[in-house]
Chains A and B, each alone.
Chain A
């Protein structure tokens, strides 16, 4: 079965760092990009950025450039989203989703990781 399994919910304080993960299985991980999508409480979907696990090519939405870091480790079929200094406004559900090509984007999604940032 093709799936993306994300790491569990996190509760952090402002200023702390965090790295969440997205592990792919059931397919050739390096054949697909992994994108990240934010959903703030009660709000819509926002595209954050995307990484190619094969060569670590990474692209960011201008809204998230410099705010987060996206990476991947192809040896363990896992992509990451990380923050160096969290803010309360980072409280959201974060989804990963895969993309094969421009023709086939976000056909499989992870279950989401809830990140809560509160003092």
Chain B
């Protein structure tokens, strides 16, 4: 099974400061077609998850450009250039390379200092 390990699990950040979340996979997430299917989701308290990033670095429609994704192989990063109050919640990485056995990371809780 593919295991995704996120760090840190808790991330206190001052408003306006950058934030970075790591997601490491136990196996390469590069698919046979050359693409890498690593996604990032954000879940605010009491809400459903919302996809932010797909295929490592592609932002979903309506996602602010302060969010960016990068990485390859087994190491991936979600960066927020300047944290805003609405960014609080839990961030999850999820791989769908290894169809149909998808896996989520444990989640990283972002809070405002």
Given A46-B104, A107-B60, verify A102-B96 contact (CB < 8 Å). Answer: yes
Which A residues are in CB contact (< 8 Å) with B100? Answer: 49-50, 59
State whether B51 touches A106 (Cβ < 8 A).
yes
Give, as a whole number of angstroms, the nearest-CB distance from B58 to chain A. 9
Size range of the interface on A?
A: 20 to 34
State whether B54 touches A105 (Cβ < 8 A).
yes
State whether B103 touches A47 (Cβ < 8 A).
yes
Give, as a whole number of angstroms, the nearest-CB distance from B25 to chain A. 15
Output the residue of A49, A50, A106, A111 with the most chain B CB within 10 A.
A106
Given A105-B37, A105-B96, A109-B49, verify A61-B106 contact (CB < 8 Å). Answer: no
Q: Does A29 touch B at the CB level, under 8 Å?
A: no
Given A95-B49, A111-B48, verify A103-B104 contact (CB < 8 Å). Answer: no
Q: Describe B's contact surface by its main secondary structure.
A: loop
Task: Provide the bound-state CA to CA distance between A44 and B9, in Å.
Answer: 11
Q: Describe A's contact surface by its main secondary structure.
A: strand
State whether B101 touches A103 (Cβ < 8 A).
no
Q: Does A110 touch B at the CB level, under 8 Å?
A: yes
Task: Provide the bound-state CA to CA distance between A105 and B29, in Å.
Answer: 15
Task: Provide the bound-state CA to CA distance between A83 and B112, in Å.
Answer: 40
Give, as a whole number of angstroms, the nearest-CB distance from A13 to chain B. 26
Task: Provide the bound-state CA to CA distance between A107 and B51, in Å.
Answer: 6
State whether B102 touches A47 (Cβ < 8 A).
yes
Which A residues are in CB contact (< 8 Å) with B37? Answer: 102-103, 105
Give, as a whole number of angstroms, the nearest-CB distance from A70 to chain B. 12
